[in-house]
Amino acid sequence: MTRLSRDDVVKAVDRADDVTIAQIIETGATVEELTEAQAWLANDEPMINDLRPLAQGRVRELVDILSELEQDDDEQGPAGPGSGSAIS
């Protein structure tokens, strides 16, 4: 198992900025661990139903980083018509 590269992270995580990408790489995680973290975030109920232990170690670190990224996206809200300032 090889560690994540910048390209791996960019392909797997939409909207990740350079700081987030660096944080993810610094965990020393593998592609498989990133995939598992994303699965936990997407829907933890099936994971629990499969009797999998809660995320631990590097997977837990990735879950924390990715959930913070999701929170930032939620706070910014959707960008659409009327979301900018009006020019008179």
In-domain check, residue 62: yes
Quick one: pLDDT at residue 50? Answer: 67
In-domain check, residue 56: yes
In-domain check, residue 32: yes
- Domain residues for the domain of 52 are 6-73
What string of pLDDT tens digits covers the 88 residues of the chain? 789 999 999 999 988 899 999 999 999 999 999 999 998 888 866 666 667 777 889 999 999 999 998 876 666 655 544 444 344 3
Q: How far, CA to CA in Å, does 8 sit from each of 2, 25, 45, 47, 63? A: 11, 9, 26, 23, 16
Quick one: pLDDT at residue 88? Answer: 35
In-domain check, residue 19: yes
In-domain check, residue 83: no
Quick one: pLDDT at residue 78? Answer: 56
In-domain check, residue 42: yes
In-domain check, residue 81: no
In-domain check, residue 63: yes
Quick one: pLDDT at residue 56? Answer: 85
Q: Give the predicted TM-score (pTM) of the model.
A: 0.73
Domains of the chain: total: 1
